[in-house]
Structure 1
Amino acid sequence: MAEREGRRWNHNIHFHSVVLGAVPAHASSALDVGTGDGMLAVELRRTLTDVVAIDSSEAVLNAAAKQHGGIEWVLGDVMTHDFGRTFDVVAAVAVVHHFPDLRRGLRRLAAVTSPGGSLVVVGLARAASVRDHLYGVAGVVQHRWYSHRRTMWEHSAPTVWPPPHTYNEARAAAAGVLPGAQWRQYPLWRYVLTWRKPAR
């Protein structure tokens, strides 16, 4: 992931480049799920003409909408909102651990992804193995390094900690719901799940 000196940084922004790198060449539309302050939606809008950002927090969403134009801001729950269409890119950064049922949440995200489109999940999970804890140690070091060299920025979106599922549970859920999905665990207490929906 490329460094972005001089720009604000936090653990979620750190992974925006992963989402942007997964945008298909043919893409024109994107859905940013749990957009919060809207930073990812803004980055997506720089390359895509049609960006929808949804969040269930009215105060956070209104603040984002006041600062950024050219994006359709939707107050609602992605699990129940009727978009009336699908999207070439569906991104969920630090969102799926909020879902009461992870598998159901992943199915919903897959359902709003267009055929041939990409689903990218940057998720949080709970450490439950020696390997997980080693990644956590690396995350502490990485956090200190970046936070001393960047402008550390605290988002205003609601948080859930600790996450309700472990890394292994999240990986198993993805394998069961999204066949062929790519999975990678990272420091900074994150994993990345990318899935290309089969074209019709």
Structure 2
Amino acid sequence: MGAHSHSHDNIDWDAHLQRLRAADDFLEPDITEVVAKLLRPEDRSAIEIGAGAGGTAAVLAKRLARNGGQPQLTIVDTAEQLLAAAGERASEVDGVTVRTVRADAAADTLAEEIAGAGAPPNADLVHAAFVVHHLPDQLAGLRRLAGLVKPGGRLAVVEFGLQTRVLPADIGIGGPGLEARLLSASEQWFQQMRTEMDDSVRLPKGWPKAMIEAGLVEATSFSYLIDRPAPLDESGRAAALRQLSMLRRDADERLAAEDVSALDQLLDPESEHYAGNRDDLYYLSANTVHVGIKPA
């Protein structure tokens, strides 16, 4: 969940935050490693675009605290509940000034809203994970985020690299290859979401090239692997189940009835085929971090 326009109506925030916190805990080792690559020893400030439940913000705060000085962390999102949760978690780190700002990364007033909330208007690192692909005009979004970076600082945009896989090729119900069909349906959903978004603009180029067009230099990318082999522990099984639950979205419209039935059985704790009872689930995914430098 990022700092961009979404309908937050009818969300069960307690359940939503619980899921987000569980995901944060599961991914903390990977996020810690990424943040260690992004935050330089001399960095004293960061802006996190998209609050989630605060897992990444907390890791950023810990790294900034290690750097010393008078570190400042600003967390930006449109959802008050997410901001409150993220701000609370990041504020548990001593020695870092944490501010939360309710603002929209899709709005041209983003920088003004951050400054108007009393937060520093720019930072050594601006970090946006899984946010930009939700913005109607992604290139304009990159320009907006680049405007928040201090000269010599960096913008880091995290986007999906390889699709997450958790299931064996043949799960014993339905036809083999269920996960591949689920992932194909998910990609179709994403492309439809982009197409139907109000004022949607295509981005027919790779992220590093788009970053250069947004005014940054020396744009590079690196990927990190999330690799949890079978058998998974409890947190790993929960992560795999969250992934399968996400793939259930719009499955009725895009998959054969046999595949929907198989997925429902995997997600049903009362079913003999419940995925949570399997010892052959794994979690394998890769995300890509695109980094550009603001000219000094």
Q: Same fold (TM over 0.5)?
A: yes
Report matched runs for 1:30-179 at 5 Å.
30-48=46-64, 49-69=71-91, 70-78=97-105, 79=107, 80-81=109-110, 82=112, 83-84=114-115, 85-124=121-160, 135-136=162-163, 139-140=164-165, 162=190, 164=194, 169-177=206-214, 178-179=216-217
Q: Tell which deviates more after alignment, 96-105 or 12-21.
A: 12-21
CA distance 1:97–1:189, change in 2 (3 Å): farther
Q: Following TM superposition, by how much is the alpha carbon of 1:41 offset from its aligned partner in structure 2, in angstroms?
A: 1.2
For the aligned residue pairs, the C-alpha RMSD in angstroms reads 3.1
**Cα deviations by residue, 1:34-85 (Å, 9 ceiling, x for unpaired):** 1221111111111322101011111222233344425211111134232332
Q: What residue is the counterpart of 2:219 in the other structure? A: 181
Cα offset, 1:17, TM superposition: 2.4
Q: What is the identity, as a one-letter code, of the residue corresponding to 1:162?
A: F
- Among all aligned residue pairs of Structure 1 and Structure 2, give the percentage whose two residues are the same amino acid: 30
Indicate how the Cα distance of structure 1 residues 93 and 13 shifts in structure 2: closer, same or farther if over 3 A, else same: farther
- How many residue pairs get matched? 165
* Max Rg structure: 2
Residue of structure 1 equivalent to 2:180: none
Shift of 1:90: 0.5
Partner of 1:193: 290
Structure in which a larger fraction of residues adopt helix: 2
Query: Which AA in structure 2 matches 1:182?
Result: T
- Supply the AA of the counterpart residue of 1:100: P
**C-alpha contact 1:13 1:40 (8 A) present in aligned 2:** no
Distance 1:109 1:13, change over 3 A: farther
Deviation by residue 1:82-107 (Cα, 9 ceiling, x = unmatched):
23321011000111111111100111
Q: Which has the larger displacement, 40-49 or 87-96?
A: 40-49
Structure 1: segments with no counterpart, 5+ residues: 1-6, 126-134, 145-159
Pick aligned residue for 1:26 from 32, 39, 42:
42
Can you give the 5+ residue segments of structure 2 that lack an aligned partner in the other structure? 1-23, 65-70, 92-96, 116-120, 169-186, 195-201, 226-284
CA contact (8 A) 1:118 1:197 kept: yes
Q: Relative contact order (alpha carbons < 8 A, sep ≥ 6): 1 or 2 greater? A: 1
What secondary structure, in the 3-state scheme, does the structure 2 residue paired with 1:100 have?
Answer: coil
- Structure 2 contact 25–55 (Cα < 8 Å) conserved: no
Q: Aligned to 1:47, what secondary structure does the other structure show?
A: helix
Q: Counterparts of 1:95 and 1:16 in 2: how far apart (Å)?
A: 19
Question: Secondary structure at 1:198's aligned position in 2?
Answer: coil
Shift of 1:189: 5.5
1:14 maps onto 2:37 in alignment: no
Alpha-carbon distance in 2 for matches of 1:169, 1:111: 20
Q: Deviations over 1:154-174 (max 9, x none)?
A: xxxxxx962647895545423
TM-score calculated relative to the size of structure 2: 0.48
